[in-house]
Amino acid sequence: MVKKPIEALLEQERFELRPKSGGGILSFEVWGYQQKGVTVVTRYNLAYINHAIYQMDNGRVLGFDNAHGFHHRHYMGDVRAVEFISYEATLERFQQEWLAIVKATGGKRS
């Protein structure tokens, strides 16, 4: 009988950004397990929160997660399914999009 891996919280971080960095909060929550020396991510929630840019959805300007049984992207209240390649690719996309939003808005509503 194969033993099911035990899922654990791998990362939970929250960064308050300075105004010159766009302001707001970056939040990372990642769950998973180790299997044969490899980290397997089972759940994740990545969010850029900035009430100065977007007030709805608890201020979540941008987010990626796999809650509700599918991988999806939040952008100012719009939720759409996204193709999932890997957690690492999703994290990279999140970082690129967050930086582009900050560059375009300066951390403030346009």
Euclidean distance between CA atoms 39 and 10, whole angstroms: 9
Query: Looking at residues 80-105, what average pLDDT do you find?
Result: 94
Residue 27's identity, in one-letter code, is S
* Residues 106, 91 contacting (CB under 8 angstroms): no
* Residues 101, 48 contacting (CB under 8 angstroms): yes
* Residues 65, 46 contacting (CB under 8 angstroms): yes
Residue 53's identity, in one-letter code, is I
Euclidean distance between CA atoms 87 and 102, whole angstroms: 22
Query: What pTM was computed for the model?
Result: 0.89
pLDDT digits (tens, 9 = 90+) for 58-77: 999 999 999 999 999 999 99
Give residue 11's pLDDT band: very low, low, confident or very high (50, 70, 90): very high
